[in-house]
Structures are given as structure tokens and as C-alpha cells.
Amino acid sequence: MEVDNEALLEMTWRSPSNIALVKYWGKHGRQLPSNPSISFTLSRAFTETTVLFTPRRDSATPIVKSFLFEGKTNQAFARRIETFLQQITDKLPFLQQLQLDISSVNSFPHSAGIASSASAMSALALCLVEGRQRLKGDSFDLEDTINEVSEFARLGSGSASRSVVAPIGIWGAHPDIPGSSDRYAISFPFELHSSFDNWKDSILLVSDEVKAVSSSAGHQLMKNHPFARTRFKQARANIRRITVAMQQGDIGAFGTIVEEEALTLHGLMMNSRPSFMLLLPETVRIIQSLRRWRRQADVPVYFTLDAGPNVHLLYPSTHADRVLQWMEKELPEYLQSDKIVRDEVGMGPVKV
């Protein structure tokens, strides 16, 4: 990044992606969720974002002065970030006086088909809130500002709200979850059973094609979805059930809910008006093979899916060797390093 003599401040945050266990699908108002969701915060799939703040002399010029993604100018990302920043100037008026040089890199391959908006928007939100504090001459403490950071991340991308809390994020108000809110995510407020310590997420990259239907379009289709009401009710019930399972150490119940949620998400897509499908034959092959093996081997490994064809395998790290052996036998192509992201549940963002 070119250093500007007038630069006021520069900072870098690394923020992870997350994988939803109970899915957010459908929104209203200003990026508010139609149902609560819960996720594992990841560790190795992250975005590292540097923001250089300089004064802006003319309010007609864009806030985003430059946007480099993986070292290259990216106009499409610059436009998306500009729209986002313009939308939040009512909440962050200091942006009206500034221009930003933003530079962002992902730890995972760019074309991997992993949703990067959660890590990217949360890393940016961290830079914005810390930037505001420090330009005011105030200190910055993530713990004190975590709700606000999560809220700005949410305004950029709903699921990003959960990436700033760890190891488990809950976003969306739920009567059984103290402190839960539609505006920001909180970390799991109960005692987590030790059987949920140290879980892995092996992300099997089935396709690197750009998705035919974006998440935003998918959320919109929930507005007149024939099953919307039932779905939102089911998600609330699943939040209740999964949080109980995670306190009691009921791994079987946890896995059943996680898989139901993944297939429901894709079922909703297939039943949207108009209908769309992001699953690929490869996705189904992996799921069938996993279920067959799990019945015989009795290993607690469960699949989940994002809004795309990639398969996330979730399992306790104590079972990592057996999962690897199964993959060697059944999915040898996934042992090539560029087709799998070996991730695990992590501890949230870090200042670089």
C-alpha cells in the first residue's frame, strides 16, 4: 500500500470466517434476521484487512480511495464497500471527513467458493470502530465495543456479525438466550460441555465456480416463500434444542440438528419461487458416503453446507485420525491440499 504523507492512522485486523450450525436465511429491514442463528467461529479461514485513514477534502469524492484485494485493484469490491460505508455514515459520521485505502487478503484460495463476506466484513468493521476511537483520541478495547463491532459487521453481511465473537456466536433474539439480539451477535452465554472443546471443520471444496444465485438474492426469496413461517419457527426450535445439546454434551442430537439445518437451507432454495439449486452431484456423493461410513464406524462426524456446494465436516479433534483414514479411502481427491481447507473452531479476531 502506498504511504500517504497525510495519513492519520493505519491498522490491520485479522478476522475469521464462521460456519452456521442453525442457519440464517431470510431478513427484513436494515439487515435484521428473520430467525436467530448459531455458528462455530473458525480459525484458519480468515481475512486480513489493512485500512489507512486520510483526510478527505471534498465530500463529493468517494470514501474508498483504493481497494486492493490480494495485492490487485478490485473495482467491484471497492464499489460494494463504498455503498456499505455510505449507508453507515449516519452511524459513523467520522467517515464523512475521511478517505480510506483498504487492502485485504484471504488465507484461503480466492476462487475456493468459500463465503468470504463474513471474514471480510468483520475485519473491516474492526478497523472502522478502532479507527473511530483512536481518531477521537480514545483508547480502543474490543471487549467494550464488541456489540458495536458486531453490529457494523452485520450491516455489511449478516453472517459477519457472528465472526467477531468466539468460539460460538449467536445472532438473533431468542427468548431462551439471555442477551441475544437481532442487532448483533453474542458469544454462547452458557457453559459449553467439554465434549464440544476442540472441534475441527474440514471444508471440502467441491466447486470453485461463482454461485449462480447470491446469498442476498436467496434471502429476498424468503419474503414470499411458501414455507417461510414454518422455517422461522423450526429455526427457533432448533436454536433451543442445539443450545441444550451443547450444554449437555449430546453430540448425537447436535449432529442431527446440524444436518437437518444444512438440508433445510438447500431445501428452501429448491422450493423458492423461482427455484434454484446450489448442490452438485459431488456434494450428494460425499454426504451419502459419510452417512454410510458413520453408521458402520460410529464416529461422530457430521456434515453441514453453506450457501454453496462445498461440504463442511465437523468432528471432535480426538477423531481426526479416523476421519482422515476414511477420506484417504473414500475421497482421495480431497487430500490434495488445494481441495480442502483444514480448519478448526477458533478464538475470534486478532489485531495484527
Shortest spacing between CB 332 and ligand PMV, in angstroms: 28
In the range 115-174, which residues lie near ligand PMV by CB under 6 A?
115, 117, 157-159
Shortest spacing between CB 67 and ligand PMV, in angstroms: 19
In the range 211-230, which residues lie near ligand PMV by CB under 6 A?
215
Q: How far apart are CA 114 and CA 71, in angstroms?
A: 19
Per CB under 6 A, the list member of 24, 40, 254, 293 interacting with ligand PMV is 24
Instruction: Write phi, then psi, for 138 (nearest 5 degrees).
Output: -95, 160
Q: How far apart are CA 319 and CA 152, in angstroms?
A: 37
- Considering the rule CB under 6 A, would residue 35 count as an interface residue with ligand PMV? no
Per CB under 6 A, the list member of 13, 14, 17, 23 interacting with ligand PMV is 23
- Considering the rule CB under 6 A, would residue 20 count as an interface residue with ligand PMV? yes
β-partners of residue 50 are 12, 103
Shortest spacing between CB 32 and ligand PMV, in angstroms: 12
- Considering the rule CB under 6 A, would residue 202 count as an interface residue with ligand PMV? no
Q: Which CB, 19 or 245, lies closer to ligand PMV?
A: 19
Shortest spacing between CB 310 and ligand PMV, in angstroms: 11
Q: How far apart are CA 188 and CA 166, in angstroms?
A: 8
State which amino acid sits at residue 305.
Answer: L
Q: Which CB, 17 or 50, lies closer to ligand PMV?
A: 17
**What is the contact mask toward ligand PMV in residues 78 to 117, using x (rule: CB under 6 A)?**
-------------------------------------x-x
Q: How far apart are CA 46 and CA 126, in angstroms?
A: 13
**What is the contact mask toward ligand PMV in residues 278 to 317, using x (rule: CB under 6 A)?**
----------------------------xx----------
Instruction: Write phi, then psi, for 280 (nearest 5 degrees).
Output: -120, 160
Q: Which CB, 21 or 92, lies closer to ligand PMV?
A: 21
- Considering the rule CB under 6 A, would residue 37 count as an interface residue with ligand PMV? yes
Query: What is the residue whose three cell numbers read 431462551?
Result: 176
Q: Please give the radius of gyration of the chain, using alpha carbons only, rounded to the nearest integer.
A: 20
What 3-state class would DSSP assign to 42?
strand
Phi-psi region of 249 (alpha: psi -120 to 50; beta: other; left: phi over 0): left
Answer for the pair 231, 304: CB distance below 8 angstroms, yes or no: no
Phi-psi region of 70 (alpha: psi -120 to 50; beta: other; left: phi over 0): left
**How many residues lie near ligand PMV (CB under 6 A)?**
14
Q: Shortest CA distance to 69 belongs to which of 18, 105, 21, 109?
A: 105
Q: Name the residues that contact ligand PMV, by CB under 6 A.
A: 20, 23-25, 37, 115, 117, 157-159, 215, 265, 306-307
